[in-house]
């Protein structure tokens, strides 16, 4: 099946299982009007994040890489009363768009968007730990560093998710010098050696092409 077929199946899944969502449609429109790149998770992937947050009973969520807040909204919708989500974004422009989208979704009281390099922000968050779920979807060069930081901020049993780890199959190219592939391979090497995590990776196809995600649980 071609990429067009993958997109058609994604559209079918969204139509059958997700239905219309004016709030998320408005978020994508706001992203486009703000000049943000169209690299959000797909609607089906967003719903998957939402369900994983609910299944894990997450009350305290950390997101690394906000963009326009599309995935943030999906995750925040899963929070129970009193739940909280902190999302980290390096771009002030992206953060401004995200805050508007999150406010329009009625989630501003549950979500805090912080601006700055994520690695620097993560170093200051020890007093806010532990988190129950961490979703990482930022610069791929730092994925291994983000996961290491996330482990230290997470409770035993917490779920850590990392997006875009297959790179259209590029992850298996040991000779690649492309920074995102190099960074992703470093992530897998770190996961292989990291005794504090139990992890797997799943390939995906769909509207966002051929890619995949890492799912890891922090050991007790």
Q: If you search the block for the tokens 């992530």, which residue do you land on?
A: 187
Q: What is the mean pLDDT of the chain?
A: 97
A 10 A CB-CB count for 54 gives: 14
- What token pair was written down for 103? 């406010």
Q: Does position 105 have pLDDT exceeding 70, yes or no?
A: yes
Q: Does position 161 have pLDDT exceeding 70, yes or no?
A: yes
CB 64 within 8 A of CB 135: yes
- E strands, the chain, are 60-64, 84-89, 111-115, 131-136, 154-163, 197-206, 209-218
CA dihedral 153, 157, 158, 163 (to 10 degrees): 120
Please state the pTM of the whole predicted model.
0.97
The burial of 119, by beta-carbon neighbours within 10 Å (0-12 exposed, 13-18 middle, 19 or more buried), is given as middle
* Model confidence band, residue 1 (pLDDT cutoffs 50, 70, 90): low
């Amino acid at each position: 099946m071609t990429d067009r077929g993958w997109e058609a199946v994604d559209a079918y899944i969204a139509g059958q299982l997700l239905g219309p969502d004016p709030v998320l449609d408005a978020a994508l429109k706001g992203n486009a009007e703000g000049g943000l790149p169209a690299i959000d998770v797909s609607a089906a992937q967003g719903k998957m994040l939402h369900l994983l947050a609910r299944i894990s009973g997450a009350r305290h969520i950390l997101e690394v890489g906000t963009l326009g807040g599309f995935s943030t909204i999906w995750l925040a919708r899963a929070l129970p009363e009193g739940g909280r989500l902190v999302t980290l974004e390096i771009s002030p422009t992206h953060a401004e768009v995200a805050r508007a989208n999150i406010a329009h979704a009625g989630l501003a009281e549950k979500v805090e968007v912080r601006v700055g390099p994520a690695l620097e922000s993560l170093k200051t968050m020890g007093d806010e730990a532990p988190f129950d779920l961490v979703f990482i979807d930022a610069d791929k060069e730092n994925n291994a560093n983000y996961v290491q930081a996330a482990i230290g901020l997470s409770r035993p049993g917490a779920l850590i998710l990392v997006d875009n780890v297959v790179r259209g199959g590029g992850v298996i190219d040991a000779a690649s010098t492309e920074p995102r592939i190099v960074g992703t391979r470093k992530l897998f090497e770190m996961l292989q050696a990291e005794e504090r995590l139990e992890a797997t990776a799943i390939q995906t196809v769909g509207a966002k092409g051929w890619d995949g995600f890492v799912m890891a649980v922090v050991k007790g």
